[in-house]
Structures are given as C-alpha cells and as structure tokens.
A = this chain, B = another copy of it.
Amino acid sequence: MSDHSGSLSTGLAPCHECARRRHCLGGLLCDDGVTDAQPNPGVHRSVLPKGQHLHRYGDRAETVAVIRSGALKTYVVSPEGEEQIRAFQLANDIAGLEAICSDTYRGSAKALSRTWVCRLPIAAVRARMLESPVFRDRLLATFGRELDRLHGMLHRERCSADQRVAAFLVAQLPADGDDVELPMSRVDLGRYLDLATETVSRVFTRLQERHVLRSEGARCRVLDRAALSAIA
C-alpha cells in the first residue's frame, strides 16, 4: 500500500490553464483540438517530499503521473533483496505507464527529491483512447519510446562500464550547455546501469583524469562533449 500521508494534493489541475498543456499528456486528455472533451477528467496535482513513494509495486493501478519537476526512481526488489532500478523519471517524463496495461503497478516509484506531479486517472486515459485518434497516437508513441528505451538499455548492458556511464551522461546532457544535474546517488546509478558502485565511481574518476568531465557530487560539467560521445 502506498503511504501518501505526506503528499500534498493541491486539488484538481486545470489543464486547460496550464502553461504546458500543449506538450503534456494531461492537456491532450482534456482537449486535443478536435473533439470535445470534459474540462477536467479528474487530473490531480500533488507534491511528494524526498523519499516518498508515488506508488509501490503491486498497488492497484489508478493513475499515470506526469512529472512537473523533481525526480523519481522506479525500481523493483528481487527475491534476494536486491534493488534494481528500471528508470529515472525527470521533468516531463511519465511514471507508472504500465497502469494503462495492467491492473497493478509493476514497480515502485519513489521521489529522489521534492517532486511535483500531475496524476491522470487511468479510466479517463483509457476512455479517451476510444474517442480521440490524436490522444491514442500520442499514447502509442509513448509506448513506442518506452520500448525503444528498454531496447537501448538491453543494448547498453552489453557494453563496457565506460560506455554505459558515458551513454547515460550523454542522454542527460541538455541541448544547451554542458552542465548535467544528477539527482541520483552513485549507488542508484549503479543499480540502474547494473554496475557496482565502486565501478561507477572509478569510471567517473577515469573520465576526470582524461579531462572529459568535471564532477562535484551531483553537479557535473562535461568538458569534452565529443570525447564523451565517442566513448558511448
């Protein structure tokens, strides 16, 4: 069961008044510019303090969440008690997508820092798929990206530690600027990339020795973008 005791629901989110409505799944849920739709089919905004769960593995799936700001990790714990991280969700990412396909969540989603999310009720999402081709396509595209991401992860598991870390950093690089903010710990990074924490650490050290990167904990500056891409 999820513990929402600390999560602050800020009430119904007026998607049609939201600045992001043009780019957000929530906006499309309310209005795709073609068909009529309810002004707000139950979208809620809430804020999660660091460490709190959005949902846990096995919980009844009721909403899919769009991240407004902050960061989550989605993970499962193996029978042996090892935590495996399946994804990090940053701003504009979607958490709990499997809720659309499954009646329970297939992973636990936990805030890495104070995180704002909008929750879209599954029932509304499923209903909207029947009404709106635009919405259906948007959702299908999201699934397609998720499949691609997973295939990419599978590919990356076949690469060296340096390649995995480099590829991850390249993926995090913003279009403008060379600064990467890493909201997750080295431990979590290792659990995501399937590397021992020590190995992650050694890769960072190696990248700094080669002047590809300068890293001060969570803050990270890419000094040689080309070199980093070449490694990945």
A interface residues, Cβ below 8 angstroms from B: 76, 78, 84, 86, 98, 100-102, 106-107, 126, 129-131, 133, 136, 140-141, 143-144, 146-148, 150-151, 153-155, 157-158, 194
- Please state if A158 and B106 are interface contacts (CB–CB under 8 Å): no
With A136-B129, A154-B153 in contact, do A147 and B101 touch (Cβ < 8 Å)? yes
A147 to B76, CA, bound (A): 14
**A126, A129, A146, A151 pick with most chain B CB within 10 angstroms:** A151
Q: Which DSSP category, helix, strand, loop or mixed, fits chain A's interface?
A: helix
With A101-B143, A133-B130, A136-B130 in contact, do A194 and B157 touch (Cβ < 8 Å)? yes
With A130-B130, A133-B130, A136-B126 in contact, do A102 and B144 touch (Cβ < 8 Å)? yes
A157 to B153, CA, bound (A): 11
10 closest Cβ pairs, A-B complex = A101-B144, A150-B150, A157-B157, A101-B140, A102-B144, A101-B143, A158-B194, A143-B143, A130-B130, A153-B154
- Please state if A98 and B129 are interface contacts (CB–CB under 8 Å): no
Give the chain B neighbours of A194 by CB distance below 8 A: 157-158
Q: Smallest distance from the beta carbon of A101 to chain B beta carbons, Å?
A: 3
Q: Smallest distance from the beta carbon of A137 to chain B beta carbons, Å?
A: 8
A106 to B154, CA, bound (A): 14
Give the chain B neighbours of A102 by CB distance below 8 A: 144
A102 to B76, CA, bound (A): 28
Q: Smallest distance from the beta carbon of A207 to chain B beta carbons, Å?
A: 22
- Please state if B151 and A106 are interface contacts (CB–CB under 8 Å): yes
Give the chain B neighbours of A147 by CB distance below 8 A: 98, 101, 106, 146-147, 150
